[in-house]
Amino acid sequence: MNYKEILKEIKPKESEIKKVHEIAKDAISYINKIAKEEDINVEAKLVGSIAKGTWLSGSSDIDIFINFSLEEDEDYLKEKGLYLGHNCSEHLNGIAEEHYASHPYLTSHINGYYVDFVPCYKIKTAKELKSAVDRTILHTNYIKKHLKSEKQKDEVLLLKKFMSEVGVYGSEFKVGGFAGYLCEMLILRYNTFEETLEAAANWKNKTVIDLEDYKTDKLFKDPLIAIDPTDKTRNVGAALTKERMSEFIIASRNFLNSNEADKIKFFYGIDKKETFEEKMSEKEIHDQISPYELYKQFKDRKTKTITIKFNIPDISVDSIHPQLKKTQQSIEEKLEDNDFSVFKSDYWTDEKKIGVFIFELSVYKQSKYYIHEGPRVWDKKACENFIKSHGEDYYILEDKLVLNKERQFKTAKNFIKSVLTKENIHIIKVGKNMKGLLIDTYTWQSIKHLLKDESLKENTDFLKFLENFLNPGQLLKR
H or E element that contains 371: strand 369-376
DSSP string, 200-263: HTT--TTEEE-TT----GGG--SSEEEEETTEEEEETTTT--HHHHHHHHHHHHHHHTS-HHHH
**Angle at CA of residue 80, ends 74 and 85, nearest 5°:** 120
* Nearer of residues 22 and 262 to a second copy, judged by Cβ: 262
Identify residues 89-128 at the interface with a second copy (CB under 8 A): none
398 scored as a contact of a second copy (CB under 8 A): yes
Per CB under 8 A, does 203 bind a second copy? yes
From candidates 39, 75, 399, 454, binder to a second copy by CB under 8 A? 399
Q: How far is the CB of 257 from a second copy (least distance, A)?
A: 9
Complete edge-to-edge strand list for the sheet that includes strand 113-121: 42-47, 62-68, 113-121, 104-110, 95-100
Residue 132 or 396: the one with the smaller Cβ distance to a second copy is 396
Choice from 14, 213, 277, 300 touching a second copy (CB under 8 A):
300
Among 145, 260, 378, 454, indicate the residue that binds a second copy (CB under 8 A).
378
Question: Interior CA angle at 232 toward 226 and 233, to 5°?
Answer: 90
Q: Which is nearer to a second copy, 206 or 452 (CB)?
A: 206
The residue among 401, 402, 403, 395 whose CA lies nearest residue 380 is 401
Residue span binding a second copy (CB under 8 A) among the ranges 21-29, 266-274, 321-329, 395-403: 395-403
Residue 332 Cβ, how far from a second copy at the closest point, in Å?
14
What Å distances lie between residue 110 and 57, 58, 147, CA to CA?
A: 17, 14, 29
Q: Work out whether 377 is an interface residue with a second copy (CB under 8 A).
A: yes
Question: Does residue number 301 form part of the binding site for a second copy (CB under 8 A)?
Answer: yes
* CB neighbour burial string for 86-106, b if at least 16 within 10 angstroms, e if fewer: bbbbeeeebebeeeeeebbbb
* Binding of residue 242 to a second copy (CB under 8 A): yes
CA angle 217, 220, 223 (to 5 degrees): 95
| Interacting span for a second copy (CB under 8 A) from 129-137, 180-188, 200-208, 287-295 | 200-208
Cα distances (Å, whole numbers) of residue 329 to 229, 264, 322, 411, 421: 35, 37, 10, 18, 18
Site for a second copy in 250-289 (CB under 8 A): 250, 253
Q: Which stretch binds a second copy (CB under 8 A): 77-85, 152-160, 197-205, 431-439?
A: 197-205
Using CB under 8 A as the binding rule, whether residue 472 contacts a second copy is answered as yes
Instruction: For residue 6, give the 3-state DSSP assignment.
Output: helix
List the interface residues with a second copy, window 400-439 (CB under 8 A): 400-401, 410
CB nearer a second copy, residue 181 or residue 364: 364
Of 312-371, binders to a second copy (CB under 8 A) are 339, 341, 343, 362-363, 365-371
Judged by CB under 8 A, the stretch of 147-155, 287-295, 374-382, 444-452 that binds a second copy is: 374-382
Q: Does 204 bind a second copy (CB under 8 A)?
A: yes
Interacting residue with a second copy among 1, 70, 256, 397 (CB under 8 A): 397
Q: Does 446 bind a second copy (CB under 8 A)?
A: no
User: How many of the chain's residues bind a second copy (CB under 8 A)?
Assistant: 50
Distance CA 9, CA 274 (A): 12
Question: Looking at beta carbons only, is 29 or 257 nearer to a second copy?
Answer: 257
Alpha-carbon span 72 to 153, nearest angstrom: 36
Measured from the Cβ of residue 342, the count of other Cβ atoms closer than 10 Å reads 18
Please check whether residue 412 is in contact with residue 340, taking contact to mean a CB–CB distance below 8 angstroms.
Answer: yes
Which positions from 26 to 55 touch a second copy by CB under 8 A, shown as an x/- string? ------------------------------
- CB atoms closer than 10 angstroms to residue 434: 22
Map residue 174 onto helix, strand or coil. Answer: coil
Q: How far apart are CA 199 and CA 185, in angstroms?
A: 13
Do residues 20 and 113 make contact, with C-beta atoms less than 8 angstroms apart? yes
Q: Min. distance of Cβ 450 from a second copy in angstroms? A: 19
328 membership: H or E segment, kind and range: helix 317-337
For residue 243, state whether it binds a second copy (rule: CB under 8 A).
Answer: yes
Stretch that binds a second copy, among 170-178, 186-194, 201-209, 317-325 (CB under 8 A): 201-209
Q: Which of 279, 353, 376, 432 binds a second copy (CB under 8 A)?
A: 376
Residues that bind a second copy (CB under 8 A): 201-205, 223, 242-243, 245-247, 249-250, 253, 300-303, 339, 341, 343, 362-363, 365-371, 376-378, 380, 383, 392-401, 410, 472-473, 476-477
